């Protein structure tokens, strides 16, 4: 798994690529924690280059969403450009009602 | 295509990618469609990470034997370990309808395995270890295969 963080005007954009499994999920957690520790709780996650995600990765997403939403000034973790298989995993986990999911990255960044 | 392939891996999280590569290549060889292959890969990751974390909890030098068996009707995975008894078939399903605040992060992996595979069975053989068997049907009219 590799990731890049871009600090934008209204949010941070976290772009992930590769495989998110039990081995690599802690890296995703660390990346999200660093963003939130910097005070930013509006985060767009670009998932377009994620090849594989297991429940270990999904657990990180739900925990990060809880932290973002718990802020006094509510933040949000928005999922963007979600590949079909990853979307199916989100659906199977019952996560679709818990996240804003945007097809277009630019739309996600512009509307958070 | 009928074949079998058995490979033993050290039970370490860093070997999950290598196990995935084995499962992906054999599932492709068996002629499964892309959706079924992805389902099997997810189920495998969940099964092996559970073996590493739970069956081998406190055990450093365990192994996972991954057996891939294909015939005209099905693709079968058999995972053998010599760790503690961990019957994931008995793990309850998570509540998928609770709100964000109440949503528990655990339990999804086993739920995924049960949802994604057509058959899931567990056997503990005293003195030998655990045997987890996952089956995916190849028949196109299988209810789960077509969803």
A7 and A39 Cβ atoms separated by less than 8 Å? no
Phi first, then psi, for residue B6 (nearest 5°) are -130, 125
pLDDT of res. B141:
47
pLDDT string in tens for chain A (112-residue length)? 999 999 999 999 999 999 999 999 999 999 999 999 999 999 999 999 999 999 999 999 999 999 999 988 889 999 999 999 999 999 999 999 999 999 999 999 999 8
The C-alpha atoms of residue A18 and residue B62 are separated, in whole angstroms, by 27
Token representation of residue B73: 């009707």
- Regions in chain B scoring below 50 on pLDDT: 141-147
A62–B42 C-beta distance less than 8 A: no
Q: Which residue of A has its CA nearest to B111?
A: A93
Name the residue ranges covered by the structural domains of chain B: 3-137
CB contact set of B91 (below 8 Å; sequence gap of 6+): B107, B110
Nearest to B105 among A54, A62, A89 (CB): A62
Q: How far is B108 from chain A (nearest CA, A)?
A: 6
A100 touches chain B (CB under 8 A): no
Q: Give CA A106 to chain center in angstroms.
A: 15
A-chain residues near B17 (CB < 8 A): 19, 21, 23
Superfamily for the A2-111 domain: STAS domain (3.30.750.24)
A56 touches chain B (CB under 8 A): yes
pLDDT of res. B140:
61
The C-alpha atoms of residue A49 and residue A40 are separated, in whole angstroms, by 23
Mutation target among B27, B52, B99, B100 for the A interface, most CBs of A within 10 A: B100
pLDDT of res. A9:
92
Beta-sheet strand order (sheet of A42-53): A2-7, A12-20, A42-53, A76-80, A101-102
B100–A52 C-beta distance less than 8 A: no
Count of residues in chain B: 147
Phi first, then psi, for residue B66 (nearest 5°) are -105, 115
Name the residue ranges covered by the structural domains of chain A: 2-111
pLDDT of res. A72:
82
Token representation of residue B93: 């399903």
Distances (CA, A) of B9 to B12, B51, B56, B62: 8, 12, 13, 9
State the count of interchain CB pairs (< 8 A) between A and B: 65
Reported ipTM:
0.89
B102 touches chain A (CB under 8 A): no
User: What CATH number labels B3-137?
Assistant: 3.30.565.10
Helices (H), A1-112: 25-37, 55-69, 84-92, 105-111
The C-alpha atoms of residue B4 and residue B134 are separated, in whole angstroms, by 14
């Amino acid at each position: 798994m590799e990731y890049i963080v871009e600090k934008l005007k209204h949010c941070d954009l976290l772009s992930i690529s590769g495989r998110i499994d039990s081995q690599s999920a802690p890296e995703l957690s660390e990346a999200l924690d660093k963003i939130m520790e910097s005070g930013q709780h509006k985060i767009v996650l670009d998932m377009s280059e994620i090849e594989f995600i297991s429940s270990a990765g999904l657990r990180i997403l739900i925990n990060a969403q809880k932290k973002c939403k718990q802020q006094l000034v509510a933040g949000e973790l928005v999922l963007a450009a979600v590949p079909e298989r990853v979307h199916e995993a989100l659906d199977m986990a019952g996560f679709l009602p818990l996240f804003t999911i945007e097809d277009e990255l630019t739309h996600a960044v512009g509307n958070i | 295509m009928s074949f079998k392939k058995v490979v033993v891996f050290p039970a370490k999280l860093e070997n999950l990618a290598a196990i995935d590569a084995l499962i992906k290549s054999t599932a492709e060889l068996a002629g499964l469609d892309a959706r079924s292959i992805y389902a099997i890969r997810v189920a495998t990751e969940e099964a092996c990470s559970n073996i590493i974390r739970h069956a081998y909890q406190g055990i450093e030098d365990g192994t996972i034997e991954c057996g891939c068996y294909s015939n005209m009707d099905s693709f079968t995975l058999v995972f053998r370990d010599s760790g503690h008894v961990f019957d994931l078939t008995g793990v309850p399903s998570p509540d998928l309808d609770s709100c964000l605040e109440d949503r528990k992060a655990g339990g999804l992996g086993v739920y995924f395995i049960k949802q994604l595979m057509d058959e899931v069975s567990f056997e503990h053989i005293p003195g030998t270890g655990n045997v987890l068997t996952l089956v995916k049907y190849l028949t196109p009219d299988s209810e789960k295969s077509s969803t």
